[in-house]
Structures are given as structure tokens and as C-alpha cells.
Structure 1
Amino acid sequence: MDLDEKLKLVMKPPTEEVVTAEELRQLFETVSRPGHYIGFEISGLLHLGSLVVAGFKLRDLNGAGVRTRVFLADWHSVINEKLGGNWERIRAAADYYREAFHEFCPGTEFVLGSDLYHCNDEYWKDMIRFSKHVSFKRASRTLSIMGRTMKEALDIASYLYPSMQGVDIHHLGADIAHAGMDQRKVHMLAREVYPKIGWKPPIALHHHLLLGLQGPSRAGLEEDEKADMAIGSKMSKSKPWTCIFIHDDLSTIGKKLEKAWCPEGETEFNPVLELVKYIVFHEFKEFRVERPARYGGEVAFATYEELEKAYAAKTVHPMDLKAATARYIDGIVGSLRAKFESRRQRLEELMRE
């Protein structure tokens, strides 16, 4: 694969931003197998946003010859009080995350936070060095990466979180720091601090945050309205009725989509259209909508742009869009669902907050 093909693969959707594209080009020109990292708090059942969208980008990176690593952030999960801050539950859940990502993204490596930090004096020295360049105010502004705001009464451990995440990148040997757009602030912090302590800044790669099915709402975490809307509206396991899990069967997917926010003719912040754009068209070359002849008959779209234009013109009805989307999504998650079917009840009990 030549350089331009690698860059095209890394930059394709669901990639939303690379900081910077020129640095990415230089990386591929000088390093045969660049290092990568994406970190996950261990906090619940995996869904289309957390596994499938992120997993698509991991597959793209693997295809471009990048050494991808998923960081299973158990310490960060405890700090952010996921799964009640219970170490045993978090580590058991980490095994599930590892197995699911391994199934969906073959070739990706895994590192548990506890393994990275254990007997690692250099890590903790570097965490102090990094933190010496981060003011309390700067750390506070970065807390949106945890889904927290400066208005909340937080413990001191929460203010360690941004520095730990910043230093994780270096100690995992990552040339590329990868996450959803909601983690942008900590990547920009790392790029700001690294030169001050003699480290090369990582390239920041951010993928799209998949919308939840509930419709647009603000999070109150960002000043920019559109950025805050994207975070506030993202698919979240804490709102299971707005979330499609990898364990949902066709009937469940269909029922959730039936209730999804999808006004006729509305294309902005439309979660059903987003599923087609970022998931269906990532895997398929066309999108077929089946409907009775009296309603126009079956229609196929070769690109997302064609579908969006038709939907805006109200020539595709929301219910027909939802039914077609459900069938495609079921086909994509089917093998994952089957893998965990016998353990679903135990997983749900383990993940209960």
C-alpha cells in the first residue's frame, strides 16, 4: 500500500479530525509501523458507538500498517466511579472488552492500566513532570473528558485523570493518540505539554461521536454549541433506551429505532441517518429501502449523499428508513451478538451501575 492509500484509509469516515494531517504524512514517510493508542473506561455493555465506530477506525489503522493498541483504563474507571469504583468488577468487565474488540478488530493489541503502572517508577515520575506544567485551571477545563464540569464538587483524584491520560500516550509508545471528539481537550493538552518535557507531541486522531437515538440535546460541557450538542447527544450506555448494544437482536433494534428521533425531512442531528452514514456505508456499497409499490417501491442509494438528499426532499419516509436501517445494523452486529449470547445475562449483571 502506498503512502496516499494509507492516508486515505486513516482519514476516511468515521475520522472527523487529524491534528495535524501534515504530521501524519511525515509519520508514514519516516516510520514503517507507527504506534497507536485508544483508551476506554470500563463502564458498561458495548454499543455501536463504543465498539463498532471505534472498531471501524481500528480496522482502518490496522490496514494502513499502524500498530494499534486498546488501553483498558481500569484506574481511570475507578477514578470516574464506573461500576461503583469496584476493582474486581472493572477487571472482570475488562476481559469482556478485550474479547469483543479482539473479535471485531483482529490484530489489535491490548494493555490493562494496572499492568502499565505496576512497578513502573518512570511512569509516576513522568506523571509528576507532566503535571508540573498543568495548572489547576487548565486541568479543570479538561474535565469534560470524564463527562464532568468545573461546577461539580470533585475529589482530588479526578484532577489527576488528565495528567495520567496524557502520560499514558507516551508510555504506550503511541505516535497517534486516538479517541472520539469528546477526548480532544486532553490530546491538545498533551501536544502542549510534551515539548516542555522533551517529548515529541502525538498526532491526535478523533473519530465521530455517534448520536444516541433520543435526539439532540446539550451537555453543558463545551462553550461551542455544536461541539456541546455532539457530546450531549452521543450514544451512551447510561441511557440504554437510546443506545443500540452489540447484544441487541433484530426485534430490539427495530423497536428502538421505531422510537428514535427522526423527523421527516430533517437531516441535521438525525441519529438514524447517522447510523447509515457512519456504519452501513462503511460496510456496504449501497443502501436499499424496501417498501410497497404503492409507496414508491424498493429504492437503492449508492452513496449517503443520495440518501440524505432524498430524505430532505421527503421522498423517503422515516418508518421506511428506520426499518431498512434495522436490517443492516442487525447484519453487522449479528456475529458479535452470537458470540456473547450465552453470557448476556451475566454480563448485564456485571455491568449494572
Structure 2
Amino acid sequence: MDLERRLDLVKAPPTEEVITERELRKLLETSEHPEHYIGFEISGYLHLGTLFLCGYKVNDLAEAGFNCKIYLADWHSFINNKLGGSWENIIKASKYYEEAFKFFCPKAKIVLGSDLYHNNDEYWKDVIRFSKHVTLSRNKRCLTIMGRNQSEQLDFAQYIYPPMQGVDVKYLAEDMPQGGMDQRKVHVLAREVFPKLGWKKPIPLHNHLLMGLAEPPSLSGESKVEKVIAAKMSKSKPWTAIFIHDSDEEVRQKLLKAWCPIKQTELNPVLELVKYVIFRERRQFLVERPVKYGGSVSFSSYEELEREYANGKIHPMDLKLSVAREISKIIDPIRRHFETPSNRKLLEVF
């Protein structure tokens, strides 16, 4: 595969940014198989934003020649009180995550945090080495990577989370750590600290965060990135998330209640599903509607649909029902995968 094709795969949606593209080009010029990883806390059911959007990018990178790893961060999950802070349940749930990502990202290697850290004295030494170059105030600014903010009352263990994630990069993939835009602060920190320790500076890739289906919170004065982070799909708000196990009717009901203002294309979660999921899976998208309202219409690009919606030529209800139809079809293979008796048993922990 030629260089430009590899670059295109790395930068294709849902990629939002690569820090930096110049360094990325140099990396691909000098390495056929760079190292990559993306890490996940282990908590509840997987949804479209976690498995599909992140998984799409993992698959792009694997096609571009990267050695890809899916990191199941059980220690980080325990620190961040996932699944009630039960380490036993976190380990059980990791088997579910492993099965899902093996299905969706077959070329990626699955790594469990406990396996990475076991008998790894050098890792813990590096956590201290890294931390000696980070002020407390800078560390606190990175707490957004775990869905926290500086004003919350946190236990001390949670302050160890950012340095651990920074050092994870060295041990899992010095070339390219991947994360949502909410992981940007710790990756930028790693780029600043690593050279001071004589470590290779990573080239982070940040993918888009799929919006939840609810009306986005009003954050006056915040940047668009901060608004997107605040509005992201989250399993902690199940009514705003489409899970990979949702039935056709559950998907339909969630879409019917979704935030989808007429003519509004920015921060519209229903349009986001078309842009980042449906057109990733389909070359055409059919909006079904009664003949008296113009009849069904087919779109061959997201831009075409967005333009028609902005002009008021597509009604939100027709869009919602058509999106529900396609999303149900798209999640059906992974949904059926977990309906086998052995895989269904993996869900009992939740």
C-alpha cells in the first residue's frame, strides 16, 4: 500500500485530529508497522460510540499496517469506581469487552491491564519518573480524561490515573495512542514529558465523540470541543445511548425521542448517526416518507442529506424513522453474536 493511501486511512473519519500530521507522515515513511493502542474503561454495555466509532478507526489503522491493540484498563476502571468499584465484576466484564472487540476488530490484539502491570516493576518506576515532571495543577487539568472535573471531591487514587495513562502509552504503543477528543489533555502531556525522560514522543490520534441522543447541554462560553465532550453518548445515560444489544423496537423508541430540531445540522445527534455510522456502512441512505410529502428519497452522500435537511426538505420524523431502520440493521450482526448461550452468559455481570 502506498504512503498516500495509508495517510488517507489514518486521517479518514471519525478522525478529528492527528498531532501532528507532519510527524505522522514521517512515521509512515519510516515504519511499515507502527504501534497503536486505544484503551477502554470496563463498565456497562457497549454502545455505538465506543465499539463502532472507535472500532472503525482501529480497523482503518490495521488496514494501514499498524499493529493495533485494544487495552482493557481494569486498574483504571477500579480507580474510577466503575461497576461499583468491584474488581471481581470488572474482570468478569472484561471478558464481554474482549469478545465484542474480537468480533468487531479481528486484527487487533486484546491486552488486559492486570497482565501488563503484573510483575512489571519498571512500569511503576516509570509512573514515578513521569509524575516528577507533572505539577499537581497540571495533573488536575487532565482529570477530564476520566469524566471528572477539578471541582469534584475525589479520592487520592484518582489523581494517579493521568500519570498511569501517560505511561501506558510507552508500554503499549509509543507511536500512536488513540482516544476520543476527551483524551487530548493527557496525550498532549505525554508529548511534553516523554522527551524530558528520553522517551519517544507519541503521535496521538483523536477520534470524534458520537453525540448522545438527548438535547446537548448549554455551555455558554465553552469551545465547540468542550460542548461535544459534554454531549457525548454515555452508558451512564442509557436513554441517550444506542447499545449493541438494543432490539429494533428499543432503537426505534430512542430515535423517536431523540433531539433533532428542524433545519438544525450542528450538534444534531440523529444526523451524526447518518454521518459517522450509516455512511460508514452504506453507500446509499434511503429516507422513507409518504408520497403526499414527496415520496422516499435516496442520498449518496452525507453532505447531500445535510443540505436538504438544512433547507427543510426532510422532516425530522422521517429522518428519525429511517435512521432507526438502518441502525437496527447495522447492529444486528453483533447483537445476534451475543444471543448465543455462551456469549449471553457474559452479560450476566451487568
TM-score range, shorter chain: over 0.9
Q: Percent identity among equivalent residues?
A: 58
Cα drift, residue 218 of structure 1:
5.1
Which residue of the partner structure matches residue 260 of structure 2? 262
Contact conserved, 2:27 with 2:34, CA < 8 A, in 1? yes
Cα drift, residue 342 of structure 1:
4.7
Contact conserved, 1:218 with 1:233, CA < 8 A, in 2? no
1:325 to 323, 326, 330: 323
Which residue of the partner structure matches residue 191 of structure 1? 191
- 1:294, 1:174 → 2: CA distance? 58
Contact conserved, 2:24 with 2:203, CA < 8 A, in 1? yes
Alignment of 1:23-172 (within 5 A): 23-172=23-172
- 1:217, 1:7 → 2: CA distance? 35
Letter in structure 1 aligned against 2:292: R
Letter in structure 1 aligned against 2:349: L
Q: Runs of 5+ in structure 2 lacking a partner?
A: none
Matched, 1:284 2:277: no
Which TM-score applies when normalising by structure 2? Answer: 0.97
Q: Deviations over 1:150-173 (max 9, x none)?
A: 111111111110000000010113
Cα drift, residue 92 of structure 1:
0.7
- 1:172, 1:92 → 2: CA distance? 23
Letter in structure 2 aligned against 1:119: N
Which TM-score applies when normalising by structure 1? Answer: 0.96
Contact conserved, 2:180 with 2:209, CA < 8 A, in 1? yes
Q: Deviations over 1:217-238 (max 9, x none)?
A: 1579xx7332221111100000
Cα drift, residue 324 of structure 1:
1.0
Contact conserved, 1:218 with 1:231, CA < 8 A, in 2? no
- 2:127, 2:109 → 1: CA distance? 24
Contact conserved, 1:145 with 1:185, CA < 8 A, in 2? yes
Cα drift, residue 349 of structure 1:
4.9
- 2:272, 2:9 → 1: CA distance? 20
Cα drift, residue 328 of structure 1:
1.3
Cα drift, residue 184 of structure 1:
0.5
- 2:196, 2:111 → 1: CA distance? 27
- 1:55, 1:155 → 2: CA distance? 32
Q: Runs of 5+ in structure 1 lacking a partner?
A: none
Which residue of the partner structure matches residue 16 of structure 1? 16
Which residue of the partner structure matches residue 251 of structure 2? 253
Cα drift, residue 50 of structure 1:
0.6
Contact conserved, 1:45 with 1:347, CA < 8 A, in 2? no
Cα drift, residue 138 of structure 1:
0.6
Q: Return structure 1 stretches of 4+ with deviation > 2 angstroms.
A: 341-349
Which residue of the partner structure matches residue 227 of structure 1? 225
SS in structure 1 at match of 2:312: coil
Which residue of the partner structure matches residue 349 of structure 2? 350
